[in-house]
């Protein structure tokens, strides 16, 4: 059955990291419930894990699309993701995805979506969409306070004088943050990628937060960018029915559990999870 009839179609392009893919996918699920048909684009190595997170009821309205990166000697297909990627190859991955712009252009031409939603490391995606007369909107999925701080630093050429004193960096932290923002791939610094992604967004910027939590940063980002900033909520994944972790939590007493995060791209084995649960480590 073709579910696209009389529905707006959206092409989504998250960065190749699970910490970005997950909120993009949750946003896709929410949009699909509001009469949108979603094309969710990523590399083949990422798609199996994405497919596992899509409920059966959502498979008709969320369609996965493969984006093939060029073959590079130091970047085989298993490294077309940040999961397990050696840190020194991160600039190579950013370069490779930009080298895939002809393939992405063909995807847009073939699908002809009504809208592109793109991530903050990929301002080039907006240019490609524009060349096909497709509007593009930036979705910033990390913490909004960091986005406001980075944009402030870029536009004011200073890490200081941020209007919210609870967010600041110490002098000894400045070189590390500066190095992070000046990390370069294919002639473009990461800090500039953030700024350009916001600047190129069509009228609005989507952010993963809510007014009650980060309303002051929403207002400041709006003032800095001149864009309407729309919070889409925390985008917490719904647990699958019968999921092992959920069943275990249901058996625990209230306030008896400590949550420990190893990051979005470290996946504990069953044995490691059992060791954690039994307090062996």
Which residues participate in catalysis according to the annotation? Answer: 20, 119
Q: Can you state the percent helix, strand and coil of the chain, rounding each to 5?
A: 45, 15, 40
| Secondary element (H or E) of residue 8 | strand 8-13
The CA distance from 112 to 129, in Å, is 9
Which of 199, 55, 189 lies closest to 140, judged by CA?
A: 199
A 10 A CB-CB count for 36 gives 19
**At residue 74, what are phi and psi to the nearest 5 degrees?**
-90, 0
**At residue 256, what are phi and psi to the nearest 5 degrees?**
-105, 0
What letter would DSSP give residue 191? Answer: H
| Secondary element (H or E) of residue 13 | strand 8-13
A 10 A CB-CB count for 52 gives 8
Question: How many CA atoms lie less than 13 Å away from 65 in the CB half-sphere?
Answer: 23
**At residue 162, what are phi and psi to the nearest 5 degrees?**
-65, 130
| Chain centroid to CA 13 | 8
């Amino acid at each position: 059955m073709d579910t696209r009839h009389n529905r707006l179609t959206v092409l989504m392009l998250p960065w190749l990291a699970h910490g970005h893919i997950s909120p993009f996918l949750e946003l896709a699920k929410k949009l699909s419930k509001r009469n949108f048909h979603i094309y969710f684009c990523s590399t083949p190595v990422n798609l199996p894990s994405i497919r596992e997170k899509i409920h059966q009821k959502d498979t008709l309205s969320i369609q996965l699309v493969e984006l093939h990166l060029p073959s590079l000697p130091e970047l085989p297909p298993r490294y077309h993701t940040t999961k397990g990627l050696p840190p020194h190859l991160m600039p190579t991955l950013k370069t490779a995805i930009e080298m895939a712009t002809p393939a992405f252009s063909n995807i847009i031409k073939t699908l002809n979506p009504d809208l592109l939603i793109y991530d903050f490391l990929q301002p080039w995606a907006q240019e490609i969409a524009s060349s096909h007369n497709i509007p593009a909107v930036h979705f910033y999925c990390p913490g909004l306070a960091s986005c406001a701080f980075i944009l402030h630093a870029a536009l004011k050429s200073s890490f200081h004088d941020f209007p919210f004193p609870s967010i600041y960096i110490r002098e000894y932290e400045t070189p590390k943050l500066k190095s992070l923002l000046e990390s370069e791939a294919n002639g473009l610094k990461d800090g500039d990628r953030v700024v350009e992604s916001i600047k190129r967004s069509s009228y609005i910027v989507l952010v993963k937060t809510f007014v009650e939590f980060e309303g002051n940063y929403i207002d400041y980002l709006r003032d800095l960018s001149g864009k309407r900033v729309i919070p889409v909520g925390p985008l917490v994944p719904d647990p699958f029915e019968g999921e092992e972790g959920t069943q275990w939590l249901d058996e625990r007493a209230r306030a008896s559990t400590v949550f420990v995060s190893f990051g979005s791209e470290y996946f504990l084995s069953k044995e490691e999870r059992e060791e954690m649960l039994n307090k062996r480590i």
